[in-house]
Structure 1
């Protein structure tokens, strides 16, 4: 059975149009940049397939040159969508330069030498390169999103790359090369059809990635204290378990600092709960400013906070706590313009070799915090 290429292209184009409509509505509703890029990728795919199907009835500038460049645009928009999703820089100038270069190459291979085989080789070499590049960008996010989310889009890219190599091989070994797309051999037609199906699978891969991104955002929200922006108890326990496993495996020191705002109830009672919230928010900002990016910090609840410093001995943690105590703890102004400032008490402890869990060190730090409170507050005690 011979496959009619224009029919294959029109059918694939119609499927793409339906998926494009759905993704476009989602992009309009969600207002996420990466969804707009992927919608643009599907639009260029649909336009390119439609122009290819019109080969022989419309000018070659549209059905050959622009059709190839539009399908290249699909690959570029797909890749740039990934980069926007993962907060990576998008090399806009390089992508535009590649599109302009490809336009010039296809124009030369159409109106200069009219070499269909060379057009096939250029297109599929570009397809292979950009498909592999996209798969590698996704592969780097395996720990973040998981293979359940990444399997479909990565698989689709690898299938597209493989089919591109197949078409390159068919072109190079052909003894009677075709003169245009509509005269392509059945091997090329089958490869084009399968590539179209892979493109459809990739569109569903976009939805999988979007769902993974939403799930990650929900998990992050569930693990974050909304008032301070620090980890809440749930998020802290999860991160602490990872650090504890690393501490046990490597034997690196792990220090704990438990922090409590002095006389917090008095702040709420005399200045109002808005002032209490401002004090909590400000302490969260102080922790983010003075701690290392990889230190763990969380709001345990109420006015109590906890910090875990990795690769830090007891003296280093004590100095870190002392810097926090001496930092600017002014969180607002009173009704007469006076500065509203708080003090904090801290307990510091180091994980021991015999500890069964990191909570053993936290309990020692808690006991040290209690001693700091008993000794007059606004001080650091070591446990």
Structure 2
């Protein structure tokens, strides 16, 4: 049984139109830039498929070069959407140059030398190149995104590239393609239909990525302190549990710094809650600037903060704590222009083989912080090892 390609393409185009409408409603509600780019990508595919289905019925310049340019635009807007979603700077000029060169080649091969097989080669080679670039962009996100969310769009791009290369092979082997759809050979017809279905699956991949983004935002809201931008207690304890398991597995050292703003109640009483908020915000800014990207920093509640230093030995931990204590803790100015500063008390604890869990280590750091408070504040105290 032969595949009736015009009917199949028309059906795929209608399905794509329905998916495009759904994504359009989502983009309108979410007001998110990357969704608008993906909506444009799906729209290009939808119109391109519907034009392609009219090959042999409508003018060739409309149903072949224009349709192919629209399908190429799908990949271009897909890539720019990825860049916006992942916060990556893509080589936009390079991508535009590739599409522009393809457009010039299409014009020349259509109205210059009228070489239809060469047009198929240029289209599918460009399609395969852009698809592999898109797959690579997704692959590079595996460290920060779950593979389950990336696998559908990444697989679609890889399959799209393979199908394009398969059409290149068929043309090089001399299979006639035909300018009208009834003339298209069955191997070509099957590859064209599969390519359109892959483009359809890519639309579902967009929805999957958007759902993943929403899940990440919800998780960030649940684990981030909105005032300082640091991890809250819940987020900090999750990260500490992961780091503790890594320390147990590798046997690496670890240090914990427990911090508390001295006389914070007096700041609130004298400067109001706005002044207290400024003091906490200043704490967050300094902590982010003083420590390494892989150190764990969290606000545990009120004016109490905690820093975990993976791999830090005794001298490193004490040096970091003392440097932090001596930082500029100016958080505001009084009406006379005088700088308002506060001081810190810091308790330091070093991980020990006798610590039963991460909570025991935190408890020792907290005890050292309490001793720093009793000792007059504005000082660093090192915890005793566990008995």
Larger deviation: 355-364 or 235-244? 355-364
How far apart are 1:306 and its partner, in Å? 0.3
Partner of 2:286: 286
CA distance in 1: counterparts of 2:246 and 2:100, whole angstroms: 50
CA distance in 1: counterparts of 2:254 and 2:177, whole angstroms: 68
Partner of 1:155: 155
How far apart are 1:257 and its partner, in Å? 0.5
Partner of 1:9: 9
Partner of 1:166: 166
CA distance in 2: counterparts of 1:228 and 1:302, whole angstroms: 11
Partner of 2:177: 178
Larger deviation: 128-137 or 37-46? 128-137
Partner of 2:273: 273
CA distance in 1: counterparts of 2:253 and 2:2, whole angstroms: 69
Contact 2:102-2:126 within 8 A present in 1 as well: no
CA distance in 2: counterparts of 1:236 and 1:178, whole angstroms: 60
CA distance in 1: counterparts of 2:199 and 2:113, whole angstroms: 31
CA distance in 1: counterparts of 2:380 and 2:203, whole angstroms: 56
CA distance in 1: counterparts of 2:249 and 2:199, whole angstroms: 44
Secondary structure in 1 aligned to 2:144? helix
Residue correspondence of structure 1 range 60-139 to structure 2 within 5 A? 60-139=60-139
When the two structures are superposed, what TM-score results if normalisation uses the length of structure 1? Answer: 0.93
Secondary structure in 2 aligned to 1:144? coil
Secondary structure in 2 aligned to 1:256? strand
Partner of 1:202: 202
Contact 2:49-2:196 within 8 A present in 1 as well: no
Deviations 1:106-136 (A, max 9, x none): 1222223322222222222222222232223
Secondary structure in 2 aligned to 1:137? helix
Partner of 2:301: 301
How far apart are 1:335 and its partner, in Å? 4.2
How far apart are 1:58 and its partner, in Å? 4.0
Deviations 1:143-177 (A, max 9, x none): 43323322322232233233223323332334x52
How far apart are 1:379 and its partner, in Å? 0.7
CA distance in 2: counterparts of 1:269 and 1:36, whole angstroms: 49
Unaligned runs of 5+ in 1: none
CA distance in 2: counterparts of 1:215 and 1:359, whole angstroms: 28
How far apart are 1:26 and its partner, in Å? 1.8
RMSD: 1.9
Secondary structure in 2 aligned to 1:298? strand
CA distance in 2: counterparts of 1:40 and 1:224, whole angstroms: 34
Larger deviation: 17-26 or 230-239? 17-26
CA distance in 2: counterparts of 1:167 and 1:266, whole angstroms: 75
CA distance in 1: counterparts of 2:162 and 2:353, whole angstroms: 53
Secondary structure in 1 aligned to 2:294? coil
CA distance in 1: counterparts of 2:282 and 2:144, whole angstroms: 30
Unaligned runs of 5+ in 2: none
When the two structures are superposed, what TM-score results if normalisation uses the length of structure 2? Answer: 0.92
Summarize the Cα distance change of 1:147–1:289 in structure 2 as closer, same or farther, 3 Å threshold. Answer: closer
Contact 2:72-2:99 within 8 A present in 1 as well: yes
CA distance in 2: counterparts of 1:39 and 1:160, whole angstroms: 19
Secondary structure in 2 aligned to 1:145? coil
Partner of 1:45: 45
CA distance in 2: counterparts of 1:355 and 1:129, whole angstroms: 54
